[in-house]
Amino acid sequence: PENDINLKQTMAMGCWSEQELVGEQGHWQAKKLTTDASEWEVLLDGEKVGEVKWSLVGEHNMHNGLMAIAAARHVGVAPADAANALGSFINARRRLELRGEANGVTVYDDFAHHPTAILATLAALRGKVGGTARIIAVLEPRSNTMKMGICKDDLAPSLGRADEVFLLQPAHIPWQVAEVAEACVQPAHWSGDVDTLADMVVKTAQPGDHILV
């Protein structure tokens, strides 16, 4: 991205490779055609060179796709061909993966293991389901970074797009998820037992809800 200050500072230290920038002032832009960014136009120097319709949602995925198209062009693949190819792209598992639907409740699984990823995933799901649908976020700190509590102060803000939050307290970590629950602006609950937490979620969920685990 052309406006990323950290990237600019790194590049200023010395880069002798060809550079192409993504963003409003860059060579490449992506223009959303749908709210959830599942359809978007590819612009190169202000001119449309392709259109993507794929199964992924979220602006973070759209930007990743745009950079993939730019990289493909560098090795000779026409942007229109690369854009069409993304239409058949199969995403990795546990990336906003639909796991099933029961009694009108939809369940997704995502391996968002730090606050920035949690924020992006919830934003993507919100764009997909709309502003009035209820999103229930279920979070278990599983990565080593999360267990150490390095990012714990950023967890509550990252969960802001969820309507209700459920947190699992792992054993043997040096901090309490209750701190995150207290910092959440929406209703937030926690438990140290998986079955108890699952039961709490089931009792809370209503038809039309979307559960993100």
Q: Per residue in 70-114, pLDDT tens?
A: 999 999 999 999 999 999 998 888 888 999 999 999 999 999 889
pLDDT tens digits, one per residue of 156-188: 999 999 999 999 999 999 999 999 999 999 999
> Looking at the DSSP assignment, which residues form a beta bridge with residue 168?
191
C-alpha separations of 2 from 8, 14, 23, 25, 113 in Å: 8, 16, 6, 7, 26
Residues 76 and 12 both lie in one domain:
yes
Residue 109 lies in a domain: yes
Residues 108 and 65 both lie in one domain:
no
- Amino acid 165: pLDDT: 99
Residue 198 lies in a domain: yes
Residue 61 pLDDT > 70, yes or no? yes
- Amino acid 92: pLDDT: 84
Residues 125 and 28 both lie in one domain:
no
Contact 36, 62 (CB under 8 A): no
- Amino acid 18: pLDDT: 85
Contacts made by residues 111-117, CB under 8 angstroms, sequence distance 24+: 113/142, 113/143, 113/145, 113/146, 114/143, 114/145, 114/146, 114/151, 115/151, 115/154, 115/155, 115/157, 115/158, 116/158
Residue 3 pLDDT > 80, yes or no? no
Q: Which of 10-19, 47-56, 121-130 has the lowest mean pLDDT?
A: 10-19
Query: Which among 47, 66, 86 is the end of a domain?
Result: 86
pLDDT tens digits, one per residue of 130-141: 999 999 999 999
With cut-offs at 50, 70 and 90, classify the pLDDT of residue 39. very high
Residues 104 and 196 both lie in one domain:
yes
Query: Considering only CA atoms, which of 163, 155, 92, 168 is closest in space to residue 119?
Result: 155
Mean pLDDT of 145-153: 93
Query: Considering only CA atoms, which of 24, 28, 212, 5 is closest in space to residue 120?
Result: 212
- Amino acid 2: pLDDT: 65
Residue 92 lies in a domain: no
Buried b (16+ CB within 10 A) or exposed e, 35-55: ebbbbbebbbeeeebbbbebe
Query: Which among 57, 86, 115 is the end of a domain?
Result: 86
Cβ neighbors of 18 (< 8 A, separation 6 or more) are: 74
- H/E stretch holding 146 reads helix 144-148
Residues 126 and 53 both lie in one domain:
no
Residues 73 and 104 both lie in one domain:
no
Crossing angle, helix 59-74 and helix 79-86, to 10 degrees? 140
With cut-offs at 50, 70 and 90, classify the pLDDT of residue 1. low
CATH number of the CATH domain containing 48? 3.40.1190.10
For the chain, the domain total comes to: 2
Residue 149 lies in a domain: yes
- Amino acid 24: pLDDT: 84
CATH number of the CATH domain containing 133? 3.90.190.20
Residues 80 and 43 both lie in one domain:
yes
With cut-offs at 50, 70 and 90, classify the pLDDT of residue 4. confident
Residues 77 and 154 both lie in one domain:
no
Query: Which among 67, 86, 105 is the end of a domain?
Result: 86
Q: In terms of residue numbers, what domain contains 23? A: 5-86
Residue 6 pLDDT > 70, yes or no? yes
Residues 82 and 117 both lie in one domain:
no
End-to-end CA distance of the chain: 29
